[in-house]
């Protein structure tokens, strides 16, 4: 077992997650068995209760764990399902240690950061490698070196370096800013960041220097000299227009060869596999950078001021482009402030209504659904978007004027979206949530079946409220069909409108299982319908 640790310095948000994901993909392409672990130093147990404006999208894993959006990148680049064990938080670590202390497991010892907290961190790291056959475990440490909350994790990793006998490789990702007044890249922040890391007892084996431009040989030499890192292991990574370029940039740097060479020098038995040409990835990127045509799709949501809140949808659209050559330009529309009229939707070829919680902005989403339904514009609703499609149809077609979800209006006369009887009375936060992979049964003869071409799929869920079975007959008799249910037939999973070119919604989050070479079926269907709609407008 070998470990590659990725730490960050200077500033946050410099792309550690994308670099880690790309490195994982490259190692996998070499034929190695790769797993990834994300360390989040915050005190929250997981990301489930975090505001998207503070932390971006909450990603849901197969086992129902709610995690940082970086794990979504890991899954997409590695094309593998991760679990809760692939995400360590301070909350998880301290919770376990305190539970043990309360049980008396420490036999009266004074419980301390060292060794009890650090031992638990090391146990969790090693536990990931024991669950499946792994050659290399990538460990991304969230935050920036020097943050007080990350200190126990870095200390645990320092100890592991002593214990693992040459099987650890440390990469430090820093930022080299451009001084605008003189147009010069400045290395001093990187020098101080590495100094901070070395003061902890960790000497990086490689430095990845993110920068606005290409690092000159002089700059690389200067960084190498002041950080005691081999010159060839100082990797410059300039800004790229698309994250799918990152594997190619990392591949050209020979970082993978540097890592494997170091492990072999230490006497570790790790296979020497030749560099991949990345032909499939290059073809994907070619379509993304040079699409044959483009459609414009509006994402109508309330978190659009922070695009990371919907990052899985962005990636799903890029996956579609990579496989079809149809580019997607996203028009971001704030459902709370920009849906007073339909001006923001004019000219789009498709609409996506994403998930969310809370009543803010839902009426704007409902207006967008009305606009798409009446004007035959392709539309896809996801989770809350699916539920609001039911609300909109009930209000404006069935004439149930105050139809709503009891999440937003407990006293509505037409609770077309409601808690199921078995959920009522559960007060624990998250106790009524339906999370993770669940089976979805698709009915033959439906639009959904023509897209998926199978009766059974498994998709990820993150919701609490359901379509109220009391109103199914009214809805279906008027033209809103439910094309898929759960295995009991009690929960509705996919809807479609009979007399509309593409009016579909899913209770599950189709975006969470979209992969570069296996795009989300529903996002693919939306883009292709939008493309047909665009061609129809051209003919007009």
Phi and psi at residue 188, in whole multiples of 5°? -60, -45
In whole angstroms, what separates CA 254 from the centre of its chain? 27
User: Would you call 500 a catalytic residue per the annotation?
Assistant: no
First to last CA, the chain: 62
Q: Decide if 332 contacts 299 (C-beta within 8 A).
A: yes
Q: Decide if 438 contacts 458 (C-beta within 8 A).
A: yes
Phi and psi at residue 385, in whole multiples of 5°? -60, -40
Cα separation, 251 vs 2, in Å, equals 20
Burial profile 31-48: b = 16 or more Cβ within 10 angstroms, e = fewer: ebebbbbbbbbbeeebbb
Q: Decide if 136 contacts 25 (C-beta within 8 A).
A: no
Please tell me which residue in 315, 463, 500, 509 is annotated as part of the active site: 509
Sheet holding 234-238, edge to edge: 87-89, 34-40, 136-141, 2-8, 168-175, 206-211, 234-238
User: Would you call 296 a catalytic residue per the annotation?
Assistant: no
Among 303, 286, 322, which Cα is nearest to 69's? 303
Please tell me which residue in 75, 383, 496, 500 is annotated as part of the active site: 383
Residue that the structure tokens 């946050």 belong to: 12
Please tell me which residue in 155, 407, 459, 511 is annotated as part of the active site: 511
User: Would you call 509 a catalytic residue per the annotation?
Assistant: yes
Q: Is 144 helix (H, G, I), strand (E, B) or coil?
A: coil
Q: Is 165 left (phi over 0), alpha (psi -120 to 50) or beta?
A: left
Is beta strand 59-60 parallel, antiparallel or unpaired with respect to 66-67? antiparallel
Q: Which residues are catalytic?
A: 383, 509, 511
């Amino acid at each position: 077992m070998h470990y590659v640790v990725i730490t960050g310095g200077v500033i946050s948000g410099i792309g550690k997650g994308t670099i880690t994901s790309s490195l994982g993909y490259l190692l996998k392409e070499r034929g190695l068995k790769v797993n990834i672990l994300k360390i989040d130093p915050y005190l929250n147990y997981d990301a489930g209760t975090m505001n998207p404006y503070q932390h971006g999208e909450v990603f849901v894993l197969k086992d129902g764990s709610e995690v940082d959006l970086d794990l979504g990148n890991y899954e997409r680049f590695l094309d593998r399902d991760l679990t809760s064990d692939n995400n360590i938080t301070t909350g998880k670590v301290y919770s376990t240690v305190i539970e043990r202390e309360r049980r008396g497991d420490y036999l009266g010892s004074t419980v301390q950061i060292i060794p009890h907290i650090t031992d638990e961190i090391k146990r969790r790291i090693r536990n990931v490698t024991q669950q499946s056959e792994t050659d290399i475990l990538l460990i991304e440490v969230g935050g920036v070196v020097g943050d007080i909350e990350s200190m126990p994790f870095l200390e645990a990793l320092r100890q592991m370096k002593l214990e693992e006998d040459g099987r650890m490789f440390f990469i430090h990702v820093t930022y080299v800013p451009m001084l605008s007044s003189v147009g010069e890249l400045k290395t001093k922040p990187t020098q101080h960041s590495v100094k901070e890391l070395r003061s902890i007892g960790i000497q990086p084996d490689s430095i990845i220097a993110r920068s606005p431009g290409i690092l000159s040989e002089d700059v690389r030499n200067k960084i190498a000299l002041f950080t005691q890192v081999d010159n060839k292991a100082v990797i410059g990574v300039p800004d790229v227009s698309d994250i799918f370029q990152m594997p190619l940039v990392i591949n050209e740097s020979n970082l993978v060869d540097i890592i494997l060479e170091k492990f072999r020098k230490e006497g570790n038995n790790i296979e020497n596999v030749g560099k991949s040409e990345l032909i499939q990835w290059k073809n994907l990127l070619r379509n993304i950078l040079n699409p044959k045509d483009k459609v414009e799709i509006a994402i109508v949501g309330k978190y659009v001021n922070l695009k990371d809140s919907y990052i899985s949808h962005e990636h799903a659209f890029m996956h579609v482009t990579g496989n079809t050559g149809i580019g997607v330009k996203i028009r971001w529309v704030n459902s709370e402030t920009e849906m007073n009229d339909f001006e923001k939707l004019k000219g789009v070829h498709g609409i996506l209504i994403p998930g969310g919680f809370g009543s803010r902005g839902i009426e704007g989403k409902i207006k967008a659904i009305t606009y798409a339904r009446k004007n035959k514009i392709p539309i896809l609703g996801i989770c809350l978007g699916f539920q609001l499609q039911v609300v909109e149809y009930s209000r404006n077609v069935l004439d149930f004027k105050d139809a709503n979800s009891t999440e937003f209006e407990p006293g509505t006369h037409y609770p077309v979206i409601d808690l199921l009887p078995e959920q009522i009375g559960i007060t624990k936060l998250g106790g009524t949530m339906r999370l993770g992979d669940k089976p979805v049964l698709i009915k033959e003869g439906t639009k959904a079946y023509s897209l998926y071409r199978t009766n059974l799929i498994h998709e990820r869920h993150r919701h609490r409220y359901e379509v109220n079975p009391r109103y199914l007959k009214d809805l279906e008799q008027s033209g809103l069909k439910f094309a898929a249910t759960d295995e009991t037939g009690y929960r509705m999973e996919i809807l479609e409108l009979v007399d509309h070119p593409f009016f579909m919604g899913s209770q599950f989050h189709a975006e969470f299982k979209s992969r570069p070479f296996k795009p989300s079926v529903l996002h693919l269907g939306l883009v292709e319908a939008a493309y047909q709609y665009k061609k129809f407008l051209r003919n007009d």
